[in-house]
């Protein structure tokens, strides 16, 4: 097996992220069902589930792509680790110190998670936060008109992702107008709407977004926490019900948006996200205080311009090679 494959598994397993994977292979298969054989040993569904239950999210990705390889690498790692324990490699320097650092990192990350999850958020705190941030919980129902344009030609430096997006947009819409032509048409639609034209009829006549066009232009609700681009959210939240925005440029075309209605979530509806936000704010403040406690006050600047303590000076035997200059 290539060394890189082993390193990939080690990276996954020793990940310092707080999130953990919860992979549960097909629930219909009972725990005592033999589902695989590795190194001559029969493995049941329950054994595999237990083995991977607390793996990091990186392992989840590998498991979803290729479960056989993921399980194989897990057993390879466990075997090598067991052999290292037999050889007492963990008692030798520098591996002893490296393991201690890894343990400290995992514990530190877990402490951050623990502080977040165990911070008590009262109803009074939620109400106070809601009263101060009501604008965050407003949502606007909108109608949209999309005026597409032909994607610009991709240069030789364009990424594969950009090229794929451009090709998909061109194939989906088959729009041949230029960006300037699309903008001019979108501006004309804005003027027509502001002069009193029926926006729903303008949707039927002009819009090139098939899904919203079929619904009379309805595009659902937009709030400050929506996944839409900031330029769309900002334009919608700045408009009043009945207003029509200026054309908003997006990669696929220009959007003309009419705000239909604006309502606010009640404090009960927003309770969960508010609670999560309060917890995160608490952790940020708590962690900042810890960082400030350990700010280094330098008493001897000369010491910190020398070689790393315990490491050979640059140019000496055993020293790390100098960093390579980045290509211009």
Tens-digit pLDDT profile for residues 284-301 = 999 999 999 999 999 999
Residue 172 tokens read as: 């989906």
Count of C-beta atoms within a 10 Å radius of residue 249: 16
The verdict on residue 43 lying in a domain is: yes
d(CA 312, CA 301): 19
d(CA 7, CA 77): 9
Same domain, 150 and 260: yes
Same domain, 83 and 142: no
The verdict on residue 44 lying in a domain is: yes
End position of a domain, from candidates 237, 264, 291: 264
Domain that holds residue 221: 138-264
pLDDT recorded at residue 127? 97
Same domain, 246 and 185: yes
The verdict on residue 302 lying in a domain is: no
CATH number for the domain that contains residue 243: 3.10.50.40
pLDDT recorded at residue 323? 55
The verdict on residue 29 lying in a domain is: yes
Greatest Cα pair distance in the chain:
83
Q: Is residue 267 classed exposed, middle or buried when 0-12, 13-18 and 19+ CB atoms within 10 A define those classes?
A: middle
What pTM was computed for the model? 0.58
Same domain, 144 and 75: no
Q: Where are the beta strands (DSSP E) in 30-83?
A: 34-38, 41-44
* Residue 244, beta-bridge partner list: 258
28 vs 223: which has the higher pLDDT: 223
The verdict on residue 26 lying in a domain is: yes
With a cut of 60, say whether residue 162 has pLDDT above it.
Answer: no
Same domain, 75 and 186: no
Same domain, 60 and 143: no
1 vs 37: which has the higher pLDDT: 37
Question: Could you read off the pLDDT of 224-277 as tens digits, one per residue?
Answer: 878 899 999 999 999 999 999 999 999 989 999 999 999 998 999 899 989 999
- Domain total of the chain: 2
pLDDT recorded at residue 307? 73
The verdict on residue 144 lying in a domain is: yes
End position of a domain, from candidates 53, 87, 121: 87
pLDDT recorded at residue 23? 47
pLDDT recorded at residue 53? 85
The verdict on residue 31 lying in a domain is: yes
The verdict on residue 236 lying in a domain is: yes
Residue-averaged pLDDT of the chain: 84
End position of a domain, from candidates 87, 111, 127: 87
With a cut of 90, say whether residue 281 has pLDDT above it.
Answer: yes
138, 263 contact by CB (below 8 A): yes
Question: Could you read off the pLDDT of 192-231 as tens digits, one per residue?
Answer: 999 999 999 999 999 999 999 999 999 989 988 788 999 9
Same domain, 146 and 71: no
Residue 270 tokens read as: 């927003």
């Amino acid at each position: 097996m290539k060394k890189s494959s082993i390193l990939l598994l080690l990276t996954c397993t020793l990940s310092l992220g707080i999130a953990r994977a919860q992979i549960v292979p097909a629930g219909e298969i009972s725990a005592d069902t033999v589902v695989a054989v590795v190194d001559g040993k029969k493995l049941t569904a329950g054994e595999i589930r237990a083995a991977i239950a607390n793996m990091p999210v990186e392992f989840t990705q590998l498991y979803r792509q290729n479960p056989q390889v993921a399980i194989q690498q897990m057993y390879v790692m466990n075997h090598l680790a067991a052999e290292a324990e037999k050889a007492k490699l963990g008692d030798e320097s520098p591996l002893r110190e490296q393991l201690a650092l890894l343990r400290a990192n995992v514990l530190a990350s877990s402490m951050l998670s623990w502080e977040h999850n165990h911070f008590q958020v009262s109803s009074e705190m939620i109400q106070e936060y809601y009263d101060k941030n009501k604008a965050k919980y407003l949502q606007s129902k909108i109608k949209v008109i999309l005026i597409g344009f032909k994607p610009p030609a991709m240069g030789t430096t364009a990424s594969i992702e950009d090229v794929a997006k451009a090709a998909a947009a061109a194939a989906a819409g088959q729009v041949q107008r230029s960006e300037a032509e699309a903008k001019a048409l979108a501006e004309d639609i804005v003027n027509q709407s502001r002069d009193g034209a029926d926006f729903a009829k303008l949707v039927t006549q002009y819009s090139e977004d098939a899904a919203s066009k079929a619904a009379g232009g309805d595009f659902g609700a937009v709030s400050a926490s929506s996944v839409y681009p900031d330029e769309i959210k900002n334009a919608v939240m700045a408009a009043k019900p009945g207003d029509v925005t200026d054309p908003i440029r997006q990669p696929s075309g220009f959007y003309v948006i009419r705000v239909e209605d604006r309502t606010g979530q009640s404090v009960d509806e927003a309770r969960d996200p508010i609670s999560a936000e309060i917890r995160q704010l608490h952790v940020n403040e708590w962690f900042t205080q810890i960082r400030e406690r350990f700010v280094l006050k330098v008493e001897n600047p000369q010491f910190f311009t020398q070689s790393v303590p315990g490491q050979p000076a640059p140019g000496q035997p055993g020293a790390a090679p100098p960093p390579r200059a980045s290509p211009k």
